[in-house]
A = this chain, B = another copy of it.
Amino acid sequence: MMREVAVIGYGMSKFGRRDDSTLMDMLREASTVAIKTAGAEKGDIDTLYVASMLSGELSKQTAIGTALADELSLLPVPADRIENGPASGASAVKQAVLAVGSEVYDLALVVGGEKMRHAPSNEVAELLASMTHPTAEYVQGVTLPSLAAMFAMLYMQRYGVERKHLSLIAIKNHRNALKNPHAHLHRPLTLEGIYSLPEAEVNNPVVSEPLRLFDCCPITDGAASVLLCPAERANEFTDEPVTIAGFGQATDSLALQDRDDPTVLQAVRKSSDKAFQMAGVTPKDIDFAELHDAFTILEIAESEDAGFFEKGTAHKAVEEGVTELDGDLPINTSGGLKARGHPVGATGVAQIVELAQQLRGEAEERQVADAEYGYSCNFGGFGNNVLSFVLRRG
């Protein structure tokens, strides 16, 4: 049995368009806050993990773990970069959990970040597409929005999801983001404005049919950080520790077309099963969840495959307000990728930040009452490498 690991500190940079800052600036910004909220000193830190998908491609910086260790004056701590596409952040958290769990290291700092907005959006779209199947998808011109659109179309045909449900998710997540000072988008949306009114066609244009602008997360700059330590040492640093009760990671066919049923996210199912099993809980025990809504349809599909709703029914739960901040299972209280933003390598870490913040009762205006268990799902590739975490208060 691995020893238990706790989250003792968390930090976020402002997410958004950060022309003022380099990737390194944002990594420093987030990690400095994580160390401070933990009441830790730099000298306490034993190892460093940096998550970034495109630091080499977009910031011309490789081996960025070393650079951050130097920048933060953490030398000579071990430092590595972890890359797993859009799930780089959760993969880095997992590596840090294993590092602490192995008893080789005690305090592990994890920082995920991406700087993307300075690049032309077609260049970013192509770089993101480099996570798809090299011959079946990438060289054919497939992009992530086009995969998500095919997925959404199948989902609509099979389960009766309508465009309106997708809009409701965007509206909810934008509403939650208004209560998150670190979120990228602070802009209220209405069903009229993006769906019902004639002008909605203009306000919310097609990106890839049936997905519209407000079904897609923005391109965002930002960083997020957590500081981990052995659970048995957490009270040295905080009265409000949060335990990593369970985690799981699973891969699936690289190409969407190779899956028996493309609407079933096997890697979400398998990774969440593992996380729940390790935590000794079921989906019913979860009080709130951060899901990977890079596209609105994904929040629906993940909430089903993680076991919160029967397959094909989550859109009804959305309509009934179950996933609202005051509903039975609030989803994406942070604003999600849709509105908090999706600096790719930061996202999986930012999800853990939101879980820790909620479980410590420090989420202020967006606080979920009496939350004991939180769940996160970081979705790599088009669902071909997924990590799930269950965090527990105390």
Give the chain B neighbours of A44 by CB distance below 8 A: none
Binding stretch for chain B, among A248-256, A280-288, A308-316: A248-256
Give A254 to B71 CA distance when docked, in angstroms: 9
Chain A: residues with Cβ within 8 Å of the partner, total of: 61
Give the chain B neighbours of A127 by CB distance below 8 A: 56, 62
- Are the CB atoms of A251 and B66 closer together than 8 Å? yes
Give the chain B neighbours of A94 by CB distance below 8 A: 78, 80
How many copies of this kind of chain does the complex include? 2
Give the chain B neighbours of A267 by CB distance below 8 A: 76
Q: Is A1 an interface residue (CB 8 A)?
A: yes
Binding stretch for chain B, among A184-192, A289-297, A378-386: A378-386
- Please pick, from B57, B69, B103, the residue contacting A56 in the complex, using a CB distance under 8 A: B57
Closest to A103 in B: B2
Closest to A75 in B: B251
Give A270 to B75 CA distance when docked, in angstroms: 11
Residue-wise, chain A 1-41 has the 8 Å CB interface mask toward B (1 for contact) of: 11000000000000000000010100000000000000000
Give A127 to B63 CA distance when docked, in angstroms: 11
Q: Is A266 an interface residue (CB 8 A)?
A: yes
Q: Is A117 an interface residue (CB 8 A)?
A: no
- Are the CB atoms of A65 and B385 closer together than 8 Å? yes
Give A48 to B62 CA distance when docked, in angstroms: 22
Give A140 to B79 CA distance when docked, in angstroms: 25
Give the chain B neighbours of A65 by CB distance below 8 A: 84, 385
CB distance from A6 to the nearest CB of B (A): 15
